[in-house]
A and B are shown apart, each in its own frame.
Chain A
């Protein structure tokens, strides 16, 4: 057994002394009348794997293109290592980008594609050769070096694009939907490969994606965006467990949302969501006043499904199963409460078939603890 102390978790965003690599300061971008980004303030730290997550048109790609230098902010400043990068053209920035379409040069071989940036930087032949070969090894492309982009598979093209963008050793690597064109299985493998490469090279990665699972898997922090604004910037776990808005809760993973009014404030707060139904009892980090209207968000896997109320859980409510979704490892029950709301509950299939009691139109009890859900003011 080694007695080395466990390394401190990587969390420069919690360290007030940490110097961010990138700082957005009140950045707004307008295209004519359309506001793509609205006063963005954001810090990205060295060695972070930072994900910009949002639906298409939310401004995440514009944000990334401003880092690459293809767009400039209408208002505000972007600082890179303390320097305003607005006047620096794309070809002079220590930033490289991996394009969504990969943008591999079709007339050049894999080798020449990777060497492209190094040649422009005027490095000597031996340095270029060594660096290209290093990149080929890193991305396991050695035997494809002499092929043209159209002679290799989609997954290999993706790796060439990655190798090409890493070859210059950028301070910041931008990845625009890097895995969007790959099928699901390959995408999952590649996610771990990306994390591995990010760790090996120690480069700061900013990834743009609309796939929340991908963002949660790879990123150290995720920025959830909507309509040109940052909704929440936090670690994947915090975003999942304590979303700060209905939008974020809904965007990340499955969730059921009850709309209600604060009925009582004590150690737990009570949320009345329907006439005649027992209020939901929950712990709440935010301060709320009685009578305030709130949303209560609860994840399906936090809900226990049974024939009786669970004796140890503070909340229990009865309903009817309207739908069961079979997903292989788990099943999702869609339960309509007697008061009319729909609640999703998750059960592993090992459990479901062992019990094998509940089916469509059965009456069931849903039970959950006081810590299971979150109260959202908006």
Chain B
């Protein structure tokens, strides 16, 4: 193997090692440590000058205490379950709204498509924090939504949306919609029109041609979109803390509180490690399955 090839292969692995594996190992190590009133706020720490003996001492100081703690206080598992539920429901609604948008974009006249694409990406040009914050003005009891509903006579009392899970759903769907639309659009856009004609020619109505041909062929886009929405919304912190109020339980928020409010780095790290495992296991299983089908 010559140097060029080695370099090409080593680059992505080096990237992963430096920016994923090493940080993960550090977090894992912290999760196995104990809290301490010190800087950094955990013990034991790795002491280079102590050499081999220091390393041995370090390992003997590690234990699974924090993971055991996660099972003992029901706040944690409730937060995980609640996060999984919120992420799953929000992903479902993102798909429900994103798919028709992507479909319409792929059916639009080709000269319109770049413009439509631009409109989908445009919100990224402003800060996500500000965009989520702006929803307070829309969803609060004196907000625009309630004003419109009251004016239309749909409701006679302002609805309480802000600081509920519904507001979190709205925030997640709104924020992550482009991540659903873009991969679904990419898979629909390359769909050969003659496949639909062939389906019609063989006896499908327009509707059944969609379910028999368009939908199965856009599955890779749907799966990619669902991952892109589900994974970040599972650990989402900004949206539930701005829109969800104190009663919305999400693991991202718990993590933040452990880290910054309680300054309990080891427990916060344990929460993060479990969160990562929750995400990694289904992804690996899914990819195994994909390889088998290919």
Q: Cβ of B201 and Cβ of A91 under 8 Å apart?
A: yes
In the complex, the answer to whether B217 meets A107 with C-beta atoms within 8 Å is yes
A353 within 8 A of B: no
Stretch at the interface among A93-101, A256-264, A321-329: A93-101
Interface residues of A (CB under 8 A from B): 68-70, 89-91, 95-97, 99-101, 103-107, 116-117, 120-121, 164-165, 168
Knowing that A91-B205, A101-B194 are A-B contacts, what are 7 other residue pairs whose CB atoms are under 8 Å apart, sorted by A's residue number? A68-B197, A91-B203, A103-B197, A116-B202, A116-B212, A120-B202, A121-B203
> A129 → chain B, closest Cβ, in Å?
17
- Partner of B199 from A95, A101, A116, A121 at Cβ < 8 Å: A116
Choice from B197, B199, B204, B205 contacting A70 with Cβ under 8 Å: B197
B195 within 8 A of A: yes
| In the complex, chain A residues whose CB is within 8 Å of the CB of B194 | 99-101, 103
B216 on the A face (CB < 8 A): yes
Task: Report if A97-B198 is in contact (Cβ < 8 Å); known contacts: A103-B192, A105-B213.
Answer: yes
- For B191, the closest partner residue in chain A by CB is A106
Min CB gap B17→A, angstroms: 35
B189 within 8 A of A: no
Q: How far, in Å, is A165 (CB) from chain B's closest CB?
A: 8
Name A107's contact: one of B198, B201, B216 (CB within 8 Å).
Answer: B216
Shortest A120–chain B CB gap in Å is: 3
Of chain A, the residue at the smallest CB distance from B215 is A107
Cα–Cα, bound, A107→B214 (Å)? 10
Residues of B within 8 A of A106 (CB): 217
Query: B160 — which chain A residues lie within 8 A by C-beta?
Result: none
Among B192, B202, B205, B216, contact of A96 (Cβ-Cβ < 8 Å): B202
Known: A106-B217, A107-B217. A99 touches B204 (CB 8 A): no
Q: How far is the CB of A180 from chain B (nearest CB, A)?
A: 14
> Contact at A120–B197, with CB atoms within 8 Å?
no
Q: Name the residue of chain A whose CB is nearest to the CB of B194.
A: A103
Q: Using Cβ atoms and an 8 Å threshold, which residues of chain A touch B213? A: 105
B205 CB contacts on chain A under 8 angstroms: 91
Determine the main DSSP class of A at the interface with B.
loop
Q: Please give the residue numbers on chain B whose beta carbons come within 8 Å of chain A beta carbons, in ascending order.
A: 192, 194-195, 197-205, 208, 212-213, 216-217, 219
Q: Are B203 and A99 in contact (CB under 8 A)?
A: no
Contacts A105-B213, A106-B217, A107-B217; is A168 near B197 (CB within 8 Å)? no
Query: Which of these, A97, A100, A101, A104, contacts B201 with CB under 8 Å?
Result: A97
Bound form: Cα–Cα A142–B217 in Å: 26
A100 to B193, CA, bound (A): 12
Cβ-defined contact, A117 with B197, below 8 A: no
In the bound complex, how far is the Cα of B197 from the Cα of A90, in angstroms?
A: 8
* Min C-beta distance of A67 to chain B, whole Å: 11
Interface of chain B: mostly helix, strand, loop or mixed: helix
What is the chain A residue whose CB lies nearest that of B195?
Answer: A103
A117 touches B203 (CB 8 A): yes
The CA of A95 and the CA of B203, in the complex, are separated in Å by 10
| Across-interface contacts of A69 in B (CB, < 8 A) | 200-201
CA distance A97 to B204 in the complex (A): 14
Most buried by A among B192, B203, B208, B213: B203
Contact indicator B202/A117 (Cβ below 8 Å): yes
* B197 touching A99, Cβ below 8 Å: yes
**In the complex, what distance in Å separates the CA atom of A91 from the CA atom of B213?**
15
Minimum C-beta distance from B267 to chain A (A):
47
A47 CB to closest chain B CB (Å) equals 21
What's the Cα separation between A89 and B204 when bound, in Å? 10
A95 CA to B198 CA in the complex, in Å? 12
Q: Determine whether the beta carbon of A101 is less than 8 Å from that of B192.
A: yes
A103-B194, A103-B197 given; A168·B202 CB < 8 A: yes
The residue on B at minimum CB distance from A116 is B202
CA distance A105 to B219 in the complex (A): 14
Chain B nearest CB, measured from A174 CB (Å): 9
The answer to whether A90 touches B200 (Cβ under 8 A) is yes
**Minimum CB–CB distance for A83 against chain B, Å:** 18
Docked Cα-Cα span, A164 to B219, in Å, equals: 24
Residues of A within 8 A of B216 (CB): 107
A100 and B200 alpha carbons, distance in the complex (Å): 16
The answer to whether A90 touches B201 (Cβ under 8 A) is: yes
Chain A residues with Cβ below 8 Å from B192 are 101, 103
23 A-B pairs, CB-CB below 8 angstroms? Answer: A68-B197, A68-B201, A69-B200, A90-B200, A90-B201, A91-B201, A91-B202, A91-B203, A91-B205, A95-B201, A96-B201, A97-B197, A101-B192, A103-B195, A105-B195, A106-B217, A107-B216, A116-B199, A116-B212, A117-B202, A120-B204, A164-B202, A168-B202
- Least CB separation from A161: chain B residue: B198
List of A residues within 8 angstroms of B219 by Cβ: 107
- Asked, given contacts A105-B213, A107-B217, whether A91 binds B198 with beta carbons under 8 Å apart, the answer is no
CA A117 to CA B199, docked complex, whole Å: 8
Q: What are the 5 closest A-B residue pairs judged by CB atoms, nearest first?
A: A120-B203, A117-B202, A103-B198, A103-B194, A90-B200
Shortest beta-carbon distance, A168 to chain B, in Å? Answer: 7
How far, in angstroms, from A100 to B197 measured CA to CA in the complex?
12
Among residues of A, the one whose C-beta sits closest to the C-beta of B198 is: A103
What is the CB-to-nearest-CB distance from A167 to chain B, in angstroms, rounded to a whole number? 8
A96–B199 alpha-carbon span in the complex (Å): 10
Q: Which residues of B contact A100 (CB under 8 A)?
A: 194
